[in-house]
Structure 1
Amino acid sequence: MKNGPGFLVILILLMSCNNDYYEPVSYDNPEVSLKIPFGFPEVNSSVNANKPTMYGVELGEKLFHDKRLSADNTISCSSCHMQSNAFADHNAQSIGIENRVGLRNAPAVQNMMFMKFYNWDGNILQLEKQPLVPIITHEEMGSSILEVIGKIKDDLTYKDLFTKTFGDGNITPERIYKSIAQYEYTLISANSKYDKVKRNEGEKFTAEEAQGYQTFQQKCASCHSTELFTDQSFRNIGFPLNPDTNEAGRARVTGIAADYMSFRVPSLRNVEYTAPYGSFGQFPTLMAVLDYFDNGVLNADNLDPVFKQNGNRIPLTEQEKKNLILFMKTLSDREFVQK
């Protein structure tokens, strides 16, 4: 049987299609312009390799709020990191799926692009490597990254956002991590009363706040230094010990005895919104923390010199405590927490 002219037409069309150059759809995905606050430290070097983009941030925010990242679809990143609490929560220890209790208090997510270490023990150095931790941790989301991808791979909104962010709709672990980090890089808090006073924008400290700032500089600033209000060091400050035998603080990462029960100094920005305080929420209020410092902390061989050289305490009068708290409340960025 001979092939007719129609066959030749089809063959020519197929050959023509095979020779055509495929031009993928290109989307304008500009970098997000992030204003670096005056006096803030240098950004983490990983930011330069993963600069936030318009669609990358949108994708990251969607993932941050998606409960499908957890095994039973009940917990998202935002479940423990709520904006009204400076992206922390009010639980002493984080609560995961099936009401599982985590080892530590959920830290605030703010000014991440300026941090050198992440988590209480600093086991993460690049923010892009952080999202997997809660996803696979039994006490948190109890899932796996492959399970997460399986749940969202057919979601048309995700396909669109991955294409606009990365050039195609391929959903990979690395792209998930990078987009969540891009969103978190945009969570910059630097518009508190303290910042406005420093910028001479018409705000002034009250007499009590000014006295609290003076006490802070004398008795707190050696640890809570820089405009982040943390020097990002790891210190044992004699807080009550976590009864969980899995806890060892920084020593869990380094294996060094001298790091036992040392934790990353937390930022005091928005501290008004992040109670309870301590690595496992040992203190319900700021006053409880200051009372503990005043009364005396737990002794330890590696107790920080700030305490060890002062009789294991930071002496404070009742008025100094009240003024300190009033000053710390000037670090509250109501625009950031949307209050």
Structure 2
Amino acid sequence: MKNILSHIALMLLLTGCASDESNLIVYDNPEIELEIPLDFPELNNSIYNNMPTQYGVELGKKLFFDTQLSTDNTISCSSCHIPENAFADHNPKAIGVEGRIGLRNAPPVQNMAFMQFYNWDGNKLQLENQPLVPIITHEEMNSSILEVIGKLESDPSYIELFNKAFKGEGITADGIYNSIAQYEYMLITSNSKYDRVKRNEGETFTESEAQGYTVFQNKCIGCHSTALFTDQSFRNIGFPINPDAEEGGRARITGLVEDYMRFRVPSLRNIEYTAPYGSFGQFETLEDLLDYLDNGVLEADNLDPILKDNNNRIPLTAQEKTDLIAFMKTLSDTDFTGLDN
């Protein structure tokens, strides 16, 4: 009798296990291999803990373009980071819900996987920590992560995507942050005319572009170095000062006087599409910006030595400005912006 009961118990156990296994959902979510362009710098360390995956990127893209992230369902990430503008804005300062105006110009979202600092003042070191900022900021989306999650939970397509992207964990705050970061990691721009010339793919610079490249190497490369066309340093280059009392540049983060009005050097890639220029859109055109540097910048105790040691200016002739702009336009990647479609 005891043996019979033991056999019955074993059969029930095996049957239960088989039943449990039949209910398991296996989520196949392969990693997407990043194509690292030639001569690009090292990846940001945080990407290794959040590698882009098929469904993570799909989810992040869906969220990036979804206005439900804002309190009144009017503003998405893409409202200020517009693809055809190299994921930058066309307003001097970003505009959020109810027409509220932010502190600064919305910077382009490009080559994020290789950046060591994010935002004008470098207040974020990991891209995954960035998405919450616009969601909760009064002048941007003015929402909360709980409010966003509540909206998304009413959409079955989101529930399915979150489960596919994050092993059945459902809709979570970390899932929102990580998926948006994964999508942004994929926004790599490296197919401009400049890149094709450097890769010897049959294109050559015009005479003006070649002359502009020489001017760039002589007068600009000190800040706009590396294949990203930024050395990712923080500098005060004497631009007109933001009248907003909240502005302090890098000093807002470090609390150091010497960092007052220092900002992260922006990349020149796709600069043709990212006007206006400066931390709060001080310059409408590249011509305006170069004229300002030529005429002389604002004096400051912490003015960058490149300017301070040269009478607070970068002298440029009219022809040098024309040629330099011609060269900078070779950094435009129409594959990236979708302008070739």
Match of 1:332 in 2: 332
Tell me how far 1:18 sits from its aligned partner.
8.8
Using the alignment, how far apart are the partners of 2:302 and 2:95 within structure 1? 31
Q: How does 1:58-207 map to 2 (within 5 A)?
A: 58-207=58-207
Gaps of 5+ in 1: 1-11
Q: Name the Cα RMSD after superposition.
A: 1.6
Q: One-letter code of the match for 1:45?
A: N
Match of 1:214 in 2: 214
Check the 8 A contact 2:120/2:279 in 1, yes or no: yes
Tell me how far 1:222 sits from its aligned partner.
0.3
Q: What SS class does the counterpart of residue 290 from structure 2 fall into?
A: helix
Do structure 1's residue 21 and structure 2's residue 28 form an aligned pair? Answer: no
Using the alignment, how far apart are the partners of 1:15 and 1:184 within structure 2? 46
Match of 1:303 in 2: 303
Q: Which segment is superposed worse, 160-169 or 75-84?
A: 160-169
Do structure 1's residue 49 and structure 2's residue 21 form an aligned pair? Answer: no
Using the alignment, how far apart are the partners of 2:17 and 2:208 within structure 1? 77
Tell me how far 1:169 sits from its aligned partner.
4.9
CA deviations on 1:175-210 (whole Å, 9 max, x unpaired) are 110000000000000000000000000010001000
Check the 8 A contact 1:40/1:227 in 2, yes or no: yes
Q: What SS class does the counterpart of residue 25 from structure 1 fall into?
A: coil
Tell me how far 1:20 sits from its aligned partner.
4.4
Q: What SS class does the counterpart of residue 328 from structure 1 fall into?
A: helix
Do structure 1's residue 264 and structure 2's residue 264 form an aligned pair? Answer: yes
Task: Work out the number of aligned pairs and report it.
Answer: 328
> Normalized against structure 1, the TM-score is what?
0.94
CA deviations on 1:16-37 (whole Å, 9 max, x unpaired) are 6599434521122111122100
Using the alignment, how far apart are the partners of 1:276 and 1:50 within structure 2? 33
Q: One-letter code of the match for 1:99?
A: G
Q: Percent identity?
A: 68
Using the alignment, how far apart are the partners of 1:234 and 1:193 within structure 2? 28
Gaps of 5+ in 2: 1-10
Match of 2:5 in 1: none
Check the 8 A contact 2:163/2:171 in 1, yes or no: no
Using the alignment, how far apart are the partners of 1:147 and 1:129 within structure 2? 18
Using the alignment, how far apart are the partners of 2:239 and 2:327 within structure 1? 23
CA deviations on 1:201-232 (whole Å, 9 max, x unpaired) are 00100010000000000000000000000000
Tell me how far 1:170 sits from its aligned partner.
1.5
Match of 2:30 in 1: 30
Tell me how far 1:271 sits from its aligned partner.
0.2
Using the alignment, how far apart are the partners of 2:246 and 2:86 within structure 1? 27
Q: Which segment is superposed worse, 164-173 or 83-92?
A: 164-173
Structure 1's 21 and 192: CA in aligned 2 closer, same or farther, altered over 3 A?
A: same
CA deviations on 1:284-314 (whole Å, 9 max, x unpaired) are 0001000000000000000000000000000
Using the alignment, how far apart are the partners of 1:71 and 1:28 within structure 2? 33
Using the alignment, how far apart are the partners of 2:92 and 2:328 within structure 1? 21
Check the 8 A contact 1:160/1:169 in 2, yes or no: no
Using the alignment, how far apart are the partners of 2:13 and 2:75 within structure 1? 50
> Normalized against structure 2, the TM-score is what?
0.94
